[in-house]
């Protein structure tokens, strides 16, 4: 059973599983508050090797839409005449152990991670620093790009690095428990730690999904299947269904855990051979290097968002 099924499911088994895990959530929340208190009371101190650092974060694990917001902010900052370096953890990749400035050119998702690979594909001119050691990442950025803004995709819970500004996504939750009975990485009351919040201070306005082929040509499929490895796949499926009617009937979907490498030999088995397969941008950067991918018709669903009010957002970014 997927974690999101336990967190959001309504069946008797899912409800019972959520209830049974709740005491562990209380322990988790207590442990996190103790960790936070160590920094608040000065027993531990955050480091500030680079300024400014802007963090796009959230309180839940996976699927909140941080990466589209980071992409939008990076593009907006460039339009404002700023220099930007995007920082990613590179979750699960071999280059994520410490921190590295990514080389120019396409980044293989298998070695650099799906999100860094996606950022490089969609923003090819923006430098990237990759790794879980966010302090080391900031040090590298300061050495190589001292006058740039370090824009972090995730890292709100990474207290060793001091941020100059934080923006978090925190939609009204279906389940506000901490892990493992819910999706929260820290108690939801801690949302006050952030400088700005979506949707309290700004709103994400979602435009229509763009469905494109690997060459970037827009498509209008009448029937399709879905393959995705996301933290909250149901939200993607619902958005897709609302915008792209599937005349094949009920959408056949293969849902895998967030950040799955999509390298299984039998990955495409079970998906109808006569239909194109729609994937997300984060999935496509992992699929495109497979030897067998040319055997199937693949379309990519690209998010199209903006953040409003834009003038207030620009003013806040300038103040940082």
Is residue 202 within 8 A of residue 165, CB to CB? The reply is: no
pTM (two decimals):
0.93
> Residues, the chain, total?
320
Region 42-54 average pLDDT: 98
- Residue 218 DSSP code: B
Q: Is the pLDDT of residue 62 over 80?
A: no
Q: Are 255 and 228 in contact, with CB atoms under 8 Å apart?
A: yes
Sign for the CA dihedral angle at 87, 92, 98, 102 comes to negative
- Measured distance CA(230)–CA(240) in Å, rounded: 14
Beta strands 53-58; 165-169: pairing state: parallel
What pLDDT score does 195 carry?
98
Find the mean pLDDT for residues 277-284. 97
3 state SS of 130: strand
For residues 59 and 79, what is the distance between their CA atoms, to the nearest angstrom? 29
- pLDDT given for residue 233 in this prediction: 87
pLDDT at 65 over 90: no
Compute the distance between CA of residue 320 and CA of residue 313 in angstroms, rounded to an integer.
11
Q: Express each pLDDT in 165-210 by its tens digit.
A: 999 999 888 899 999 999 999 999 999 999 999 999 999 999 999 9
Condensed to tens digits (0 to 9), the pLDDT of residues 94-145 reads 888 899 999 999 999 989 999 999 999 999 999 999 999 999 999 999 999 9
For domain 53-206+307-319, the question of CATH label 3.40.50 is answered with yes
pLDDT digits (tens, 9 = 90+) for 241-263: 999 999 989 999 999 988 899 99
Pairing of strands 100-101, 128-130: antiparallel
265's CB contacts (< 8 A; 6+ apart) are: none
What is the pLDDT of the chain when averaged over all its residues? 94
Locate the domains of the chain by residue range. Answer: 53-206+307-319, 210-303
């Amino acid at each position: 059973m997927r974690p999101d099924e336990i967190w959001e499911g309504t069946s008797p088994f899912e409800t019972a599983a959520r209830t049974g895990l709740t005491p562990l959530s209380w322990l988790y929340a207590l442990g996190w508050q103790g960790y936070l208190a160590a920094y608040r009371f000065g027993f531990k101190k955050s480091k500030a090797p680079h300024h400014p650092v802007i963090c796009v974060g959230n309180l839940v694990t996976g699927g909140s839409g941080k990466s589209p917001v980071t992409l939008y902010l990076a593009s907006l900052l460039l339009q404002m005449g700023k220099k930007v370096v995007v920082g990613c953890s590179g979750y699960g990749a071999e280059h994520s152990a410490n921190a590295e400035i990514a080389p120019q050119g396409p980044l293989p998702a298998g070695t650099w991670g799906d999100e860094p690979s996606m950022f490089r594909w969609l923003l090819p001119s923006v430098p990237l620093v990759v790794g879980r050691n966010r302090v080391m990442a900031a040090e590298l950025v300061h050495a190589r790009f001292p006058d740039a803004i370090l824009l972090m995709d995730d890292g709100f819970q990474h207290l060793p690095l001091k941020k100059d500004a934080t923006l978090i996504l925190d939609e009204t939750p279906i389940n506000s428990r901490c892990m493992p009975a819910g999706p929260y990485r820290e108690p939801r009351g801690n949302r006050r730690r952030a400088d700005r919040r979506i949707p309290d201070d700004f709103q994400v306005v979602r435009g229509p999904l763009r469905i494109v082929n690997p060459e970037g040509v827009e498509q209008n499929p009448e029937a399709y299947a879905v393959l995705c490895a996301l933290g909250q796949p149901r939200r993607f499926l619902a958005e897709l269904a609302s915008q792209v009617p599937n005349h094949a009937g009920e959408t056949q979907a293969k849902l895998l855990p967030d950040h799955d490498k999509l390298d299984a030999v039998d990955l495409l088995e079970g998906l109808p051979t006569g239909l194109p397969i729609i994937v997300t941008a984060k999935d496509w950067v992992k699929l495109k290097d497979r030897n067998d991918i040319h055997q199937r018709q693949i379309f990519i669903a690209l998010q199209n968002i903006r953040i409003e009010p834009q003038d207030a957002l620009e003013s806040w970014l300038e103040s940082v």
